[in-house]
Amino acid sequence: MFLCSLKLTDYTQSMTFFYHIFLALFYFGTCVASLFDEKIRKFLIGRKGIFGTLKKADLKNKNVIWFHAASLGEFEQGRPVIEEIKRRDKNVTILLTFFSPSGYEIRKNYAGADVVVYLPFDFTWMARKFVRLANPKAVFFIKYEFWHNYLNQLHQKNIPTYCFSSIFRPQQVFFKWYGGWYRSMLKYFNHIFVQNQQSKELLASIGITNTSICSDTRFDRVYELASQAKQLPVIEKFINGHKAFIAGSSWPADEKLIIQYFNAYPNPVKLIFAPHEIKEDGINSIVSSINKKVIRYSQAEKVNLSEYDVLIIDNVGMLSSVYRYGYAAYIGGGFGKGIHNILEAATFGIPVVFGPNYKKFREAVELAEKGGAFPIANINELTKILDKIHTDKVFLEKAGTISRDYVADGRGATGLILDKTGF
């Protein structure tokens, strides 16, 4: 028994050592990369002064609830929980952290949080200092991001720690024979809220039983957004009584196919592009590739919008309201790492189309199976489904109803999480 224990101790110490080596190399690599990449530079610069910000906030005697989101997508999953906690207890102080600039830079002024900062690197001394200054009464990690030293510090201080909207898959390291060190991090959570039965069963197979199935908080979020969607006069002037097709969070590979289709499509359908990245070269590429009249949103006040066929949204933050004007939508990312949020469009009762890389996204798989979403892999498949949507009114209405009902039926995760955790 002693030898076994010794071996386990040696293994743990070795893995922890290599983890810190990895962190050091990652930090060094980030510093080098920041010399050439603006986004990475923001990643580093934004982390300066974090501890000063926490000291200034003076959180020691406040009822702090800490939420951590990797990026913007995870934040949107956490937002319903944050706002419901605030609604239930106005004396709560919300600390919100991000790992990625794509989350922090867009939501650093989020009114629902009292303090918004980057999460410092997971070095032991940084984790210890951050937890001490933050002094949280409870912590919520959104979906994933399992940082060893932070979780260890929270565990040592007996601070209730939760994870929600999580999805686990057999391919993840937790479920491999060599994943013991990673599995140990999951044991630091008081409770893990997962999206599906498979995740619950996978966790049970490695001895993690403090779990509950409660769907995805994004259903609550997008349903609320649909009820609060803003009227957009510019969009209304642009559409001018015509049907509008929305290409949301598009990447160049998505845009190429959509442009190819609409260049050949004769009917007067309005096309709205909302690229995932607002860059001049990307916008210029759309403008130069399409054979119809194109206008940017930022230039819309200067022209008669009804004369234009294509509108490019060259800002951030309005896409969720733009979907309300569409009869169908294409959601980008499926020719890259994975599709973006399809629920923002589906909640308005419109069919959604996306690229082939969608299998890791439960909502995309389920909605495709139900007939409210349609994956495509090439121009022929895109043409086939869009022609069907354009010409078959019954098909369009049925697919749209399926999408709307799917979102409505998926609500309720926020309440389950807060009731289970006692907030």
- Model confidence over 27-59: pLDDT tens digits? 999 999 989 988 889 889 989 999 999 999 999
Residue 5 domain-assigned (yes or no): no
Please write the tens of the pLDDT for every residue from 128-147.
Answer: 999 999 999 999 999 988 99
pLDDT at position 6, please? 43
Which tens digits make up the pLDDT trace of 188-232?
Answer: 999 999 999 999 999 999 999 999 999 899 999 899 888 888 889
Q: Residue 36 is part of a domain; what is its CATH number? A: 3.40.50.11720
The confidence score (pLDDT) of residue 7 equals 59
Q: How many independent structural domains does the chain possess?
A: 2
| Assigned domain for 2 exists | no
User: Is 28 part of any domain?
Assistant: yes
Give the structural domain span for 129. 15-224+413-421
- 135-186 pLDDT, tens digit per residue, is 999 999 999 889 999 999 999 999 999 999 999 999 999 999 999 999 999 9
Residue of 338, 328, 377, 332 whose CA lies nearest to 361: 338
- Residue 9, CB half-sphere, CA atoms under 13 Å: how many? 6
For the residues 359-384, what does the mean pLDDT come to? 96
Same domain for 145 and 201, yes or no, is yes
pLDDT at 108 over 50: yes
pLDDT at residue number 215: 85
Cα Rg of the chain (Å, integer): 23
**pLDDT for position 252:** 96
Percentage of the chain lying above the pLDDT 70 cut: 98
Same domain assignment for residues 219 and 232: no
Burial (CB < 10 A; 0-12, 13-18, 19+), residue 320, is buried
Q: Does the pLDDT of residue 8 top 80, yes or no?
A: no
Distance (Å, whole) CA 246 – CA 348 = 12
Q: Are residues 364 and 377 in the same domain?
A: yes
Whether residue 399 has pLDDT greater than 50: yes
Distance CA 369, CA 365 (A): 6
**CA-to-CA distance for 86 and 112, rounded, in angstroms?**
8
The arithmetic mean of pLDDT across residues 299-320, rounded, is 90
- Long-range contacts, 201-208 (Cβ 8 Å, 24+): 202/168, 202/169, 202/170, 202/174, 202/175, 203/168, 205/175, 206/174, 206/175, 207/183, 208/183
Q: Are residues 78 and 220 in the same domain?
A: yes
Same domain for 198 and 237? Answer: no
What crossing angle do the helices spanning 124-134 and 50-57 adopt, rounded to 10°? 20
Rounded Cα distance between 298 and 278, Å, is 12
Task: Please report whether residue 203 resides in a domain.
Answer: yes
* Residue 154 domain flag: yes
Shared-domain flag, residues 283 and 314:
yes
Q: 213-232 burial by CB neighbour count: b if 16+ within 10 A, else e?
A: ebbbbbbbbbbbbbeebeeb
Confidence of residue 354 (pLDDT cuts 50, 70, 90): very high
Averaged pLDDT for residues 373-380: 98
Same domain, yes or no, for 83 and 123?
yes
Rounded CA-CA distance 413/179 in Å is 29
